[in-house]
Structure 1
Amino acid sequence: MNAAQLRTTALGFLGTFAILGVLLYFVGVEEVVRELRKADPQVVALVVVATLGWLAAWGFGLRTVLHVLGSDISLAKSFFVLNGAMFSNNVTPFGQAGGEPVTALLISKVADTEYERGLAAIASVDSLNFVPSIVLSLSGAAFYATQTPFTRQLRVATTAILVLSVAVPILGFFGWRNRAVVRRTVARLLAPVLRRLSKFVPADIGLSRAKIDARIREFFTSIERVAADRKALGLTLAASTAGWVLQMVALWLAFVAIGSSVPFSVLLFVVPVGAIAGVTPLPGGAGGIEAVLVGLLSSLPAAGVSWGTAFTAVVLFRAAIYWVPVVIGGSVVSIVGIDSV
């Protein structure tokens, strides 16, 4: 990690600590400490188990996509590569958008494939993970709406999901239909930038426009291969859905650990909405995700929990969801040796 990346990450973590500090101030330290003392260690351990299940499910999805692209890796390797991907997402700003280039490099090294295929694989997995999150959140919102009045918070969150569910596919459709234009435009703009950078960076990154165009074409070809394999799409979507459900189970167990509970239908809605906060310019969305989760859980009548209870459960949940892949993935990245992290 170079000096600029280190400064950006450090500032991101400072922002995260600031948000969590503000939340803790409003919730009250005493209440959070009181709730944490009630936590059942055995149930907390089950939160970690559910987290590992989520990572294994999404790792299987990554393995399935890589198989389509001609790179066969074991389930164990796919699990560790997925953790490496989550690590890079969690330590770079803007979550997945910031970590995907590093993840692609990790995949290319472990799976012994081209960088473009690695990027296509993780981009495909991330795109497919988006589908179940929208379906589950809208299903949860619809069920929740039948049980209680549609509150302002629920309307705002549901509107955000609906906007995303429409905007993202439309942007993706137009980008794909005009991929030749996108390819040529990126190659034209990127070639002179890389040529200048090659004078200062001790690596051969001075690619010509033709080479950049060819690599972007390979990326789109790989995406097309994944989209054409219906069996692989079905398996990856099933694995993605299982991963989302296991995240919800982990949050439900976090509440159980402190002697509380929330309806699972609420978590169907809350967990995917919280994940949207991962696009904030914070490492892995940390801070933003917690704020959204606590705000929703404490304001939705069906959840029936206080700010302190919601904050404590979210802390236990996010401690597992965030730090388990950071520890495992950080070890993977260190062993593989990716200098650009």
Structure 2
Amino acid sequence: MSEDTLRDSLVDIGWRGWVWVGVSVALLAGLVYIADFGEFVTSVRRADTSLFLIALGLGLSSLLVWAWVWHRFFEKVGIESTSSETVRMFLTGNFLNSITPLGQFGGEPIMAYIVSETTDAEYKRTLACVVSADVVNATPFFTFTLGGILYLAVAGSLRGPFVDIAALAVVLLALLSLTAYLLWSDKRGLGDTVIRLTDALEARLGRGESVFESVRESVEGVENAFQDAGDDPRFLITTAAISHLAILAQIASLYFVFRSLGLPTEFVPIYLIVNLSVIATLSPTPGGTGTYEAAFTGLTTLFFSVDLTTAVTAAVLFRLTTYWPGIPVGAVALLTLRNKMKANPGS
């Protein structure tokens, strides 16, 4: 694929992206239908608008926290970007992830390309920044989840599906930790492995020396960029600690969603619902739509004595404060970057 073709595919999302938005909406509509559409509408109308708007503001603030982590890594490796530009680039990347299946997995190269085209920075450095920032931003999901699991274990309530969630959270956190170590370690284990494989392939083929040399240089360049991004443990710890504010904002958002519906607002159940539901976003649907709301609904009925319709209403309203606003906001952000991306010839 040429750079012009790739650039066009990024700035013009096309019908396939909007088809996946339609799939997400259909899945959500199916859940609402099962819960009784008429009762759902009645529940939504009963919600306190002022409290919901507070929840919306808190939910959107989590996006700003994650964008701030991006900006912090940009400053770390010397990528020039204003705070406003960084927010728009993050929202654009978040939008692309939200409208594609498995968007949470492997979207970093495209997001790094957007950053490279917008800032005219070297692609190797933007890739290192985006991946490093996403690793840091993913950490709170698992630390908070494990914190909830630990609480259930101490309280003697760790049984049934919670055992499976705990096991999955531990495995994912271990994989995340291993990824961070391989990317940021100065031992160069990952890069050396790739280079050894490249050398072996070159020796076997006996030709293409210039191509293999280019691959080795690219691997070394990317590895050096990652080491620059993660060579300061204090920087990483501080950034990860502040990244946790995004999840706290979502917990506060759910608190006000529950208040708007007149539901109980005990901290522990709200904490557990927000963090345990995150595992459901690992489904193949865009943004985990459908599976997330189903998991959220199940947990709400488990922790509170509420009917199915009320639980679905809470799930939908919560997602309207944390997930769905990111789609139109991200689409607008993409349009604001469109001209600049087309103007830059590529790094």
Q: Structure 2-normalised TM-score?
A: 0.81
In the TM superposition, what whole-angstrom CA distance separates every residue of 1:211-263 from its partner, at most 9, and x where no partner exists? 34433332222221122123321332122100111122112221111111343
Aligned CA distance change for structure 1 residues 77 and 9 (closer, same or farther; 3 Å)? closer
Equivalent pair of 1:89/1:100 in contact (CA under 8 Å): no
Task: Name the stretch that deviates more: 283-292 or 237-246.
Answer: 283-292
Tell me if structure 1 keeps the 8 A contact 2:148–2:275.
no
Provide, for residues 273-304 of structure 1, a one-character-per-residue CA deviation record: whole Å limited to 9, x for no partner: 333333332222222322222222223x3x44
Counterpart in 2 of 1:55? 63
Which residue is 1:110 aligned to?
Answer: 118
1:334 is aligned to 2:301: no
Question: Which 5+ residue runs of structure 2 have no aligned equivalent?
Answer: 1-7, 202-209, 343-347
How far apart, CA to CA, are the structure 1 residues paired with 2:305 and 2:166? Answer: 19
Change (3 A) 1:94 1:246: same
Counterpart-to-counterpart distance in 2, 1:43 and 1:185: 57
CA distance in 2, matches of 1:142, 1:165: 14
The answer for unaligned runs of 5 or more in structure 1 is: 190-206
Q: Which residue of 2 aligns with 1:201?
A: none
How big is the shift at 1:6?
4.8
Q: Whole-Å Cα distance in 1 between the matches of residues 93 and 196 of structure 2?
A: 28
What residue number does 1:308 align with? Answer: 309
Q: 2:158 aligns to what SS in structure 1?
A: coil
**2:275 maps to what in 1?**
272
RMSD of equivalent CA atoms: 3.0
Question: Pairwise mapping of residues 143-182 of structure 1 onto structure 2 (< 5 A)?
Answer: 143-147=151-155, 149-170=157-178, 173=181, 177-182=189-194
Q: 2:228 matched to 1:225?
A: yes
What amino acid does structure 2 have at the position aligned with 1:104? Answer: A
**Partners in 2 of 1:251 and 1:183 — Cα distance?**
48
Name the larger-Rg structure. 2
C-alpha separation in 2, matches of 1:209 and 1:295: 52
3-state DSSP of counterpart to 1:259? coil
Contact 2:69 2:239 in 1 (8 A): yes
Q: Is the 8 A contact 2:194 2:219 kept in 1?
A: no
Matched-pair identity in %: 24
Match of 1:197 in 2: none
Q: How many residues align?
A: 320
Is residue 94–residue 330 contact of structure 2 (8 Å, CA) maintained in 1?
yes
Q: C-alpha separation between the residues in 2 aligned to 1:89 and 1:164?
A: 20
Distance 1:279 1:216 in 2: 29
Aligned to 2:262: 259
Matching of residue 211 in structure 1 with residue 214 in structure 2:
yes
2:135, 2:176 within 8 Å by CA — same for their partners in 1? no
The CA deviation string for residues 167-217 of structure 1, in whole angstroms up to 9 with x for no partner, is 44346656763322235658999xxxxxxxxxxxxxxxxx94433443333
Summarize the Cα distance change of 1:280–1:142 in structure 2 as closer, same or farther, 3 Å threshold: same
Structure 2: how far apart are the matches of 1:183 and 1:295? 48
Query: Bigger CA drift: 173-182 or 122-131?
Result: 173-182
Mean CA deviation greater in 303-312 or 10-19: 10-19
Choose from 6, 29, 38 the match for 1:21: 29
| Runs of 4+ that moved beyond 6 A | 186-189
Aligned residue for 1:96, secondary structure, equals coil
Conservation of the 8 A alpha-carbon contact between 1:184 and 1:213: no
How many angstroms does 1:148 deviate by?
Answer: 6.0
Partner of 1:37: 45
- Which one of the candidate residues 83, 91, 96 is aligned to 1:88? 96
- 1:264–1:85: structure 2 CA closer, same or farther, 3 Å change rule? farther
The answer to which of 73-82 and 173-182 deviates more is: 173-182
Find the aligned partners of 1:27 and 1:148 in 2 and give their Cα distance: 31
Whether the 8 Å CA contact 1:153–1:296 is kept in 2: the answer is no
